[in-house]
Amino acid sequence: MPQPVVDIFIPCFIDQMFPQTAWNMVKLLEALGCQVRYNTNQTCCGQPAYNAGFQKECRDVADKFLEDFANEDSDYIVAPSASCVGMIRNAYANIFVTSSNFTRYRTMERKVLELTEFLTDVLQVTHIPGAKLNAKVTYHDSCSALRECGIKEGPRKLLEMVEGLELVEMRDTETCCGFGGTFAAKFDAISVAMAEQKVENALSTGAEYIVSTDTSCLMHLDAYSKKNNKPIKTLHIADLLTSGW
């Protein structure tokens, strides 16, 4: 079976603040037989500008993303962020609908996948050899993963097969963590209250870690937990799946 050629997209949060998560995704994909490529010209998907109402600026970023990733010789485009994948799959359709590049976008869009759905839906993998973590964890459904990408069971299947790991469900797992990009800055009191609710629900399970597909959610929850001395940590699923290596 030929190696799938995978172009990886590394989101801003991961590039600037959690680069080890990107490296762990690369290790994971290569261990599963993928040919991984990284285009160093890549920047942002444009989501911050889009959500803030800067349509023209977002269009400029989206045009660049299309130039960077619309390669006919790649099989898939994989990102460790459902938030960015949701942006590309959904908002880009509105951005390019009146563009001569719409057909080109649609061809590219079909190849864009979040990491866990690529593992479970394309590679048909649920057990990652060597994945090991002796801990109780709870999974947070990010809004983008659940509502924009339809991701729910895949990450749980991967976690259930990790050696030593006990997966427990928290109450209201599908409720937003309160980050929401600029929402956290504009409505900080509401955002913090939502983080508090999410962390308390996680703590009530006895979990040691909150795991998710999105570093933005995890960063928000981790900041709340540290500021308030809550005994729980956060972990991106890519980091967890390579934790025993």
Sign of CA dihedral 157, 159, 162, 166: negative
**pLDDT tens digits along 134-153:** 999 999 999 999 999 999 99
* 205-224: average pLDDT: 97
- Clarify whether residues 100 and 139 are in a common domain: no
- The residues, any chain, with a CB within 8 Å of residue 14's CB and separated by 6 or more, are 21, 22, 80, 81, 215
Domain boundary among 94, 122, 150: 122
**237 has a pLDDT exceeding 70:** yes
Mean pLDDT for the chain overall: 95
- Tell me the two tokens of residue 84: 């960015």
Cα angle for residues 142, 151, 94 (degrees, 5° grid): 80
**pTM of the predicted structure, to 2 decimals:** 0.95
- Clarify whether residues 142 and 75 are in a common domain: no
Domain presence at residue 127: no
Q: How far apart are CA 177 and CA 154, in angstroms?
A: 20
**What are the C-alpha distances in Å from 25 to residues 146, 170, 239?**
21, 26, 8
* 1-27: average pLDDT: 94
**1 has a pLDDT exceeding 70:** no
Residue whose token pair is 């427990």 = 168
Longest dimension (CA), the chain: 53
Domain that holds residue 146: 132-241
**244 has a pLDDT exceeding 70:** yes
Q: What is the pLDDT of residue 171?
A: 97
**pLDDT tens digits along 143-197:** 999 999 999 999 999 999 999 999 999 999 999 999 987 787 788 999 999 999 9
Q: How far apart are CA 149 and CA 175, in angstroms?
A: 16
Q: How far apart are CA 63 and CA 67, in angstroms?
A: 6
* Residue 11 belongs to domain with CATH number: 3.40.50
Domain boundary among 122, 153, 185: 122
At residue 56, the 3 state secondary structure works out as: helix
Tally the residues of the chain. 245
- Clarify whether residues 84 and 38 are in a common domain: yes
